[in-house]
Amino acid sequence: MKTLSQHPSLRQAFKQQVDKSIAENRAATQSELPEGWAGAVGGFLFDVNQFSNQFKGNLGEGIVSLLLKFIPDSYILFNNAFIPTKIPGRLTEIDHLIIGPGGVFLVELKTWKGSFSAHRDRWQRREGNRWVAISSSPSSQSAYHLQMFRQWIVTEVDNFPEDCISAPVVFTVAQWVEATQCAVPVLHGIQALFSVLNNSPLRLSTAQVDRIVDAVANYRLPEPGNTPKPKPKPTLKRSANSAKPTVVPKTYTMTEGVGVAQQATADITQWLSSLPQTITVENVENDPNYQQIDVDLLLTTNKGQFKLEIKGDRWHKTGNFFFETYSNFERGTPGCFIYTEADWLCYYFITPRELYLLPMPTTREWFLENLDRFRERSTTTPIQGGGHYTTVGRLVAIATVRQEVADIRKIQL
C-alpha cells in the first residue's frame, strides 16, 4: 500500500481550529471549579486530560498505520486526512482515508478498551454490572465524515460514483462490541477491516482512483479573499402588479413576530430532541454563517446532518401557507423562502401545533414555476422610531402543495 500526505497547511489550519476549541473548553472547565481552584490547578488538570486523550489516540493510530501496510498495493492511504465541511474555512479529520479498486473507505479508529454496544448510533459502555451511555457516538461521527466527503468530492471529480463510499468504525482492542442498525458499518478488530478491503468487489477503475487521490492530495483551503462565491439565489419573477403589493388589513408588531418565531423554534426543537433517531439539535439562529443562508437549526440523526429553516404562523384557519417573496419590500430584500439553503422548511402553525415538513429546494422550484397561480398579499410591521416595512408573499393552499409536491410530511405535535 502506498501512503500519501496532504499539504501541511491543512494540518496547521486544523490545529488552530482545535486549539481554539480546547481553549474554550479549558475556560469552561476552570469556571466550573470551586472558587480559588480555577487557576493553575484547574488548568493543569485539564491539560493532563487533554494530553492523555491525545496520546491514546496517537498510539492507536500508529499501530493501525503499521498494520495497514499489509493491505494490497492497489490501495492508497492518507493518514489523518482533512476535508472541508459545510462551514466555510472549517475542516474535519478522517483517521484513515483508503482509496482503491474496492472503493473509498473513511476509517474511524477507536482504541477503546472494554465492552460496548450500540443501537441506532446510541452507544453504551459496560461498567461492572450496568451499561452507561456514551455521549460521543463514533458511528454518528463517521456518518458525518461520509456526508462531508461525499458533498465535497462530487464537486471535485466528475461523474463520481457515490455508492462506492463506506465509512466503517473499527474497534481495535475492545473486548466485546455489538452494534445494530447504525448509520455505518461497525467492525471489531483490524482483521475485520482487512477482510472488508480484500473482499470488496471492483467499484473503481484505475483512472477513477487516480482522480480521487489527486483531489485529496491537492486540496487546499481557499486563500482569504478568494473564497468561493456563494451560489446565486433563486430569481423571483415579478408580476405586473408586484410594484404595488396588495395590502391586507394585518399589521404585526415586532414583539408579536418574535414571540411566534420563538415558540415555533422551541416546540420544534423539543419534538426533534425526543425522536429516537435524533443525535443532536443545534440552534444556529445567531451564527452569521447560517444567517446568510437562512438556516435556524442543524439536525444530526443516524442518517446524517440536515439544515432546517423554521417558519411560525398563527393563521391556520385560512388553509394556506404564506410563502414570503420579500421580507422587506421597501429595500427589495428577498424573503427567506426564496433564498434559504435549508434542506427542509419547517412550517409550523403554533395554535393547533401542526407542523409541515417541506423539502427544499423542491418546494421552492415548484412555487416559482407556478407563481402566477397564487394571490399576492402583504403585511406591515411598525419600526421603532417611526415608519414600517412591508412583507410580501403568496397565499398557497396547503392542499395544493401537498398534492403537487412530493415528500411533504404533516406531523401533529
Band (pLDDT 50/70/90 cuts) for residue 48 is: very low
pLDDT tens per residue across span 113-160: 899 999 988 899 998 899 988 877 888 888 889 988 988 998 888 888
Band (pLDDT 50/70/90 cuts) for residue 63 is: low
| 10: three-class secondary structure by DSSP | helix
Interatomic CA distance for residues 168 and 187, integer angstroms: 7
Contact 50, 261 (CB under 8 A): no
Checking 46-51 for CB contacts under 8 A at 24+ apart, the result is 50/22
Report phi then psi at 53, rounded to 5: -65, -40
Interatomic CA distance for residues 353 and 260, integer angstroms: 12
Instruction: Name the H helices within 169-287.
Output: 190-199, 206-217, 254-274
pLDDT over threshold 70, residue 22: no
**% pLDDT > 90, the chain:** 26
Angle, nearest 10°, between helix axes 40-67 and 8-32?
Answer: 140
Tell me: cis bond preceding 234? Omega within 30 of 0 counts: no
Average pLDDT score over residue span 239-255: 46
pLDDT tens per residue across span 76-126: 999 899 999 877 788 999 989 999 999 999 999 888 889 999 998 889 999
pLDDT over threshold 50, residue 37: no
pLDDT tens per residue across span 157-203: 888 887 899 999 999 889 999 999 888 999 998 888 888 888 889 99
What pLDDT shows up at residue 118? 92
Alpha carbon distance, N-terminus to C-terminus of the chain: 53
What pLDDT shows up at residue 25? 52
Q: Quick one: which of 385, 369, 377 has its CA closest to 320?
A: 377
Question: What pairing do the DSSP bridges indicate for beta strands 103-110 and 169-171?
Answer: parallel
What pLDDT shows up at residue 53? 44
* Average pLDDT in the chain: 79
Specify the higher pLDDT residue, 370 or 31: 370
What pLDDT shows up at residue 224? 61
pLDDT over threshold 60, residue 226: no
Band (pLDDT 50/70/90 cuts) for residue 385 is: low
Average pLDDT score over residue span 340-368: 89
Report phi then psi at 297, rounded to 5: -130, 150
